[in-house]
Amino acid sequence: MLHRIAVLSSLFAASLFVTAQAQAEVQSKPIEYEDHGTHLTGYLFWDDAATGKRPGVLLIHEWWGLNDYAKERARMLAELGYVAFAADMYGDDRVTDKPDQARDWMQEVTADVELWRERAGLGLKQLMASDLVEPGQVAAIGYCFGGGTVLQMAYGGAELKGVVSFHGSLPAAPEESKGRIDAKILVLHGNADSFVSPEVVSNFQDKLEAAEANWEMDIYGGVKHSFTSPNAGDYGIENLRYDPQADRRSWTRMQSFFDELFGR
């Protein structure tokens, strides 16, 4: 009888272990917030297998809006051990696959740089409010429009240790940001991206130097815009093309950048 009880106890313990493994996975929840009357809904992602506080990463979506692709990238960040918040820059559940509509929505946000930064900052505030995030250990990444957004956050002095732009627009650092950009900057760019001319790239680099920023730019030869998105070719735009190698390399580079930022 004792032997049978011991066996049953072992099986029960094993069952609990398997159940815990099955339940320990990336979780997510919507978080509602507001900006000047615009209703915003972002999504927080975290791995409940991890314990204690950990670094947080804000994610800013492409000009299409906070779609499934952006949420999946946030989930991938959580799988790496970060708390990730996919912010909503448009509000009212606005997501599109139509370039003209996406352009209009993006221009609504970017027309006023201060309001642009303010809306992104509200997303950062939601992330930092999580009791899972280690204070002072926060970074931001962005794709396309989101890449330009996280650069603007860095120029505006947001409380970020670093920012990563994936195939982002490249707004130049303003003169008033000289000596005031605390966030380290990593830019991951496709050399064949026709949305960003060589003159824009050169001016972007020159202005970062003039601003005395800590920056790095990795450029992938022959690579076009949206190189991280497997669905890039679905939009009917010739300059959008997924590149598996650039996708892998840029994601790996981001991870090493974060390892340096957070001392992991």
Tell me the whole-structure pTM to 2 decimals. Answer: 0.91
Give the three-class secondary structure for 65. strand
| Residue type present at position 77 | L
Q: Which of 36, 57, 60 is nearest to 47 (CA)?
A: 57
Per-residue pLDDT of the chain (264 residues; tens, 9 = 90+): 434 334 334 433 444 333 334 445 999 999 999 999 999 999 999 999 998 999 999 999 999 999 999 999 999 999 999 999 999 999 999 999 999 999 999 999 999 999 999 999 999 999 999 999 999 999 999 999 999 999 999 999 999 999 999 999 999 999 999 999 999 999 999 999 999 999 999 999 999 999 999 999 999 999 999 999 999 999 999 999 999 999 999 999 999 999 999 997
**CATH (residue range 25-262):** 3.40.50.1820
- Give the CA count within 13 Å in the CB-facing half-sphere of 27: 10
The helix (H) or strand (E) run that includes residue 114 is: helix 113-128
Report angle CA 27, 246, 105 to the nearest 5 degrees: 65
Q: Cα–Cα distance between 129 and 186 in angstroms, integer?
A: 25
